[in-house]
Amino acid sequence: MTQPTARDAALPTPVQRWSASDYAKNGRFVQEFAGPIFRLLGAKPGERILDLGCGDGALTAEIKALGADVVGVDLSDELLAVARMKGLNVRKVDGHALDFVSEFDAVFTNAALHWMRKPKLVIAGVARALRPRGRFVGEFGGHGNVAAIATAIRAVGALRGSDPAATAPWFFPTTEEYGRLLAEGGFTVKEIALVPRPTPLKTGMEGWLRTFGRSFFDQFPEPERSEVVGEVIELLRPSLSDTRGQWTADHIRLRFFAERAA
């Protein structure tokens, strides 16, 4: 097993702020599309499971409903407050610095790892948190995910002299890259694939951008922010909106199932 080095920790991590109400309105697809990884996780009653990047706890609650003893971790105070109101056991912990030791049967993660740009630290913490032969199961943005959206943001950001560190700051690896990181971190990779998943956006592209693109858009004060959002939308319209005005996000998921060494 390869240990992370100081270089692995060096990359700055941009701060993404979340609004619980925006997330509930514009991000519900995150929960609606989780069926395949839920089945891959195969949670059983009595199992102890960590939900890494639990957000507002929508999926944490579903794992709990299966009879598992589930702990959620996230960095957003606002989303954690909503999860607590649902009666869930959640804690504020950075996914790069998980502090659990050999206590989980499985670590589950959905739509969170693309925010964690130091994957070796994350994988090392997951390996530490799992019991021998524990499962690490999840899905996040893979190589090519939101390529059109990220390109439009970069184009508008370059014209506006934006902060490059906050411009589309996501980790979208190939299966080869992430599979190698998992293997180096002490995991046997049982399944790993890129899954194209065009996602209809019920609240349009503006809802997506204002919810998931805040690390970029928040650097602009209003009314400039609304102009910048409008420019990104107009660049995207020919590719991601159909003739009836229905928007679809160009999501590509990296789905994986790995097992910690015995």
Residues that bind ligand BEZ (CB under 6 A): 111, 114, 141, 145-146, 170, 212, 251
CB closer to ligand BEZ out of 84 and 143:
143
CB closer to ligand BEZ out of 100 and 208:
208
Closest distance of CB 30 from ligand BEZ, Å: 7
- Nearest residue to 71 via CA among 97, 42, 92: 92
- Nearest residue to 117 via CA among 12, 26, 25: 12
Question: Position of tokens 């606002």?
Answer: 78
Is beta strand 252-260 parallel, antiparallel or unpaired with respect to 187-196?
Answer: antiparallel
As a whole number of angstroms, the distance between CA 262 and CA 188 comes to 10
CB closer to ligand BEZ out of 170 and 178:
170
CB closer to ligand BEZ out of 58 and 130:
58
What SS3 state is found at 158?
A: helix
Which residue's CB atom is positioned nearest to ligand BEZ? 212
Closest distance of CB 141 from ligand BEZ, Å: 4
Closest distance of CB 241 from ligand BEZ, Å: 18
Residues 6+ apart with CB under 8 A from 26: 201, 203, 207, 208, 210, 211, 212
CB closer to ligand BEZ out of 141 and 185:
141
Q: Is 247 exposed, middle or buried (0-12, 13-18, 19+ CB in 10 A)?
A: buried
Closest distance of CB 70 from ligand BEZ, Å: 21
Closest distance of CB 251 from ligand BEZ, Å: 5
CB closer to ligand BEZ out of 127 and 228:
228
Closest distance of CB 45 from ligand BEZ, Å: 30
As a whole number of angstroms, the distance between CA 194 and CA 262 comes to 27
